[in-house]
């Protein structure tokens, strides 16, 4: 029996980064807002307390903060001639469960995308000709420009208290910053983090090979900070437990450390935890959502009516819910028609390990303590003679020196086990670092999300099916950028280096990044996008979709900065346009 609840103005599915932003902004506008979260409530104290959070076995190895795959998972295959199987172990990406979402266990690497990333198709066609883009590559312009998003990037950065060095303030290139970034209105709120020794060596080496290194922008606070909501943060202690962990020191930006203290006391905001949303309910026309259905921890089913339904779950989960609810035509890869599930993409990474003479003390780290170069990202370089699209940044990160999963291995030729391996690990633990590449992945007709025909979840709903593989374009690009990384690594004067190219098929098992994108792509054309430029469903105008599921392809940067900017951009449109005149914000 379904219990029908009292209607609210806005229901948010999920209670992570985007839901927290939307909740605060819409509650400030006077609306009655409810967030429904499948995981538990979590806060810095007691859940992330420094008395227990720095536990690599519990949180990194056993994934203490990640979603429980025994309750919910997806099926995976590399191509549509294979049969997808449900995953009982995820390594490639680690979605969260619980209040704060993956915003709790991220590293804090905060980037803006390049202006040309937002109009990649028109820009590429204009610069390299229409035939430069392979036929099965389904990349598209976003429908929103960097210039339009700039004020919202700024909002997110000042929400988080980002530590960094501006590269381009209102068109003026700043020394020491990233000269390739789009113009920003003002500098970062906080100065860059203190550098690790390894990043100092990287900086020197990159300059020697003629590149322009800069400190990476970090959602790890270099100084105490108070954000525009009045919420206070401490100062990073460089403990080296950011990614896969929560911060116990109030110094990594998360919903808990930047929004919730100002949001939770509001009378017109409420949240429910341990509740799984299973459907967005539509009226008989299919053009208007009436609310959502969810199941609580006791298995009771509720209907929560709402005037506005906003999907704020993790990327794949938003797409899963759209497919289950029949919002947007499901994508058919053979006919290249339909939209929901279309343009899934991931990230492509590689690394060059360097073994040096001096101690790097890698245990003093922070999630976004890094030095990077951006010469080979996006269209910052001439792709004409290279025959691929996209690029990536090259960075040396000192995120920590955790002993189980975070050492940089041993030089080539070291035995794989036994006393020889132990001796080498002992010699190299303090004296190694890794130059990493972080590359873009384009979207293709063969990379998509749909409902699995065989496997079902605890509620009897089909699991989400992921079909994805690396394409030649990405492997070629990754090799090119990795070779550039190797040049920098060599200039660091190491005893030896070990190049780890990304080769072969994509595997869902080894960790790379939790940067899943697409499936609910945004765009200017309803034939190729699920949501319009304001992240509003083309088909059901009182449904909005947040998060990286709206990225039409995945640029060569970490996504969170853009996820935050898009959330502020969308909520601004809801407040200033939609609420005044509910209905489609873009006419077809």
Q: Tell me which residues are annotated as active site.
A: 515
| 13 versus 31: smaller Cβ distance to another protein | 31
158 binds another protein per the rule CB under 8 A:
no
Q: Which of residues 14-43 bind another protein (CB under 8 A)?
A: 28, 30, 43
- Length of the chain as a residue count: 588
Strands (E), 398-514: 432-439, 448-456, 462-467, 496-500
Query: Angle at CA 116, nearest 5°, toward 374 and 468?
Result: 80
From 242-250, 379-387, 488-496, 562-570, span contacting another protein (CB under 8 A): 242-250
Minimal distance, residue 255 CB to another protein, in Å: 13
Q: Would you give the binding string for another protein spanning residues 422-441, x where CB under 8 A is met?
A: --------------------
- From the list 1-9, 260-268, 302-310, 391-399, the region that binds another protein by CB under 8 A is 260-268
Smallest distance from another protein to CB 163, Å: 15
Distance CA 443, CA 339 (A): 13
Residues 168 to 227 in contact with another protein, rule: CB under 8 A: 224, 226
Under DSSP, is residue 499 helix (H, G, I), strand (E, B) or coil? strand
Q: Which of 17, 59, 156, 250 binds another protein (CB under 8 A)?
A: 250
Rounded to a whole number of angstroms, the minimum distance from the CB of residue 27 to another protein is 9
Beta strands (DSSP E) in 30-170 are 33-36, 74-77, 85-86, 168-169
- Considering only 145, 174, 237, 414, the residue that binds another protein (CB under 8 A) is 237
DSSP secondary-structure letter at 67? -
Nearest Cα neighbor of 151 from 573, 515, 525 is: 573
The residue within the footprint of another protein, chosen from 86, 176, 234, 305 (CB under 8 A), is: 234
Task: Find the shortest distance in angstroms from Cβ 230 to another protein.
Answer: 5
Burial class (CB in 10 A: 0-12, 13-18, 19+), 543: buried
Closest approach of Cβ 193 to another protein, in Å?
Answer: 16
Q: Does 49 bind another protein (CB under 8 A)?
A: yes
Q: Which of the ranges 129-137, 248-256, 328-336, 485-493 carries the binding residues for another protein, by CB under 8 A?
A: 248-256
- Candidates 98, 189, 248, 333; binder of another protein (CB under 8 A) is 248
Distance between CA atoms of residues 107 and 220, nearest Å: 8
Q: Which of 3, 4, 40, 46 binds another protein (CB under 8 A)?
A: 46
Question: Is the CB of 29 or the CB of 487 nearer to another protein?
Answer: 29
3-class SS string, 208-271: HCCCCCEECCECECCCCEECCCCCEECCCCCECCCCCCCCCCCCECCHHHHCHHHHCCCCCEEE
CA distance 86 to 99: 25
Is residue 25 helix, strand or coil?
helix
Is residue 386 a contact partner of residue 480, using CB atoms and an 8 Å limit?
Answer: yes
The correct pick among 168, 174, 235, 500 for binding another protein (CB under 8 A) is: 235
Which of 37/47 has CB closer to another protein?
Answer: 47
Q: In this structure, what token pair is assigned to residue 347?
A: 């990230």
Residues from 261 through 280 that contact another protein (CB under 8 A): 261-262, 265, 268
CA distance 500 to 348: 12
Q: Is 229 in the site for another protein (CB under 8 A)?
A: yes
- Interface residues with another protein (CB under 8 A)? 28, 30, 43-46, 49-52, 224, 226, 229-235, 237, 239, 248-250, 261-262, 265, 268
């Amino acid at each position: 029996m379904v219990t029908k609840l009292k209607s609210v103005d806005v229901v948010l599915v999920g209670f992570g980064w985007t839901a927290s932003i939307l909740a605060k902004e819409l509650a400030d506008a006077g609306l009655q807002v409810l967030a429904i979260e499948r995981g538990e409530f979590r806060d810095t104290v007691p859940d992330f307390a420094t008395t227990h959070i720095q536990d690599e076995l519990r949180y990194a190895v056993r994934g203490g903060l990640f979603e429980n795959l025994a309750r919910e998972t997806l099926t995976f295959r590399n191509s549509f001639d294979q049969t997808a199987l449900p995953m009982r172990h995820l390594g490639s990406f680690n979605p969260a469960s619980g209040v704060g979402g993956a915003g709790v266990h991220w590293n804090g690497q905060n980037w803006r995308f390049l202006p040309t990333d937002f109009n990649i198709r028109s820009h590429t066609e204009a610069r390299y000709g229409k035939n430069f883009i392979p036929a099965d590559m389904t990349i598209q312009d976003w429908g929103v420009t960097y210039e339009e998003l700039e004020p919202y990037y700024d909002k997110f950065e000042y929400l988080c208290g980002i530590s960094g060095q501006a590269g381009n303030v209102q068109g003026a290139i700043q020394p020491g910053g990233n000269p390739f970034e789009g113009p920003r209105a003002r500098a970062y709120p906080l100065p860059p983090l203190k550098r690790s020794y390894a990043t100092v060596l990287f900086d020197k080496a990159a300059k020697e090979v003629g590149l322009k290194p800069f400190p990476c922008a970090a959602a790890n606070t270099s100084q105490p900070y108070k954000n525009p909501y009045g919420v206070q943060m401490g100062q990073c202690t460089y403990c080296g437990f950011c990614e896969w962990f929560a911060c116990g020191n109030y110094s990594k930006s998360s919903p808990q450390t930047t929004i919730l203290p100002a949001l939770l006391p509001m009378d017109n905001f409420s949240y429910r935890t341990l509740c799984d949303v299973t459907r967005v309910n539509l009226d008989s026309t299919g053009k208007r959502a009436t609310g959502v259905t969810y199941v609580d921890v006791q298995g009771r089913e509720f209907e929560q009516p709402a005037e506005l339904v906003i999907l704020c779950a993790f990327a794949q989960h938003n797409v899963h819910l759209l497919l289950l609810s029949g919002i947007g035509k499901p994508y058919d890869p053979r006919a290249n028609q339909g939209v929901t599930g279309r343009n899934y993409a991931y990230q492509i990474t590689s690394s060059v390990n360097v073994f040096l003479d001096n101690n790097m003390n890698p245990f003093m780290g922070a999630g976004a303590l890094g030095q990077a170069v951006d010469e080979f990202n996006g269209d910052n370089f001439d792709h004409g003679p290279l025959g691929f699209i996209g690029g990536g940044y090259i960075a040396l990160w000192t995120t920590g020196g955790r002993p189980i999963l975070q050492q940089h291995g041993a030089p080539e030729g070291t035995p794989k086990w036994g006393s020889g391996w132990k001796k080498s690990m002992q010699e190299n633990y303090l004296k190694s670092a890794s130059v990493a590449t972080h590359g873009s992945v384009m979207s293709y007709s063969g990379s998509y999300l749909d409902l699995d025909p065989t496997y079902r979840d605890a509620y009897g709903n089909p699991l989400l099916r992921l079909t994805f593989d690396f394409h030649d374009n990405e492997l070629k690009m990754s090799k090119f950028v990795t070779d550039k990384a190797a040049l920098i690594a060599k200039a660091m004067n190491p005893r030896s280096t070990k190049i780890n190219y990304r080769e072969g098929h994509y595997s869902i098992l080894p960790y790379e990044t939790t940067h899943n994108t697409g499936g609910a792509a945004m765009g200017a054309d309803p034939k190729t996008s699920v949501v319009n430029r304001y992240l509003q469903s083309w088909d059901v105008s009182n449904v909005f979709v947040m998060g990286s599921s709206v990225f039409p392809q995945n640029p060569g940067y970490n996504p969170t900065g853009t996820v935050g900017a898009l959330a502020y951009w969308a909520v601004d449109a809801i407040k200033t346009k939609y609420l005044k005149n509910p209905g489609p914000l873009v006419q077809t």
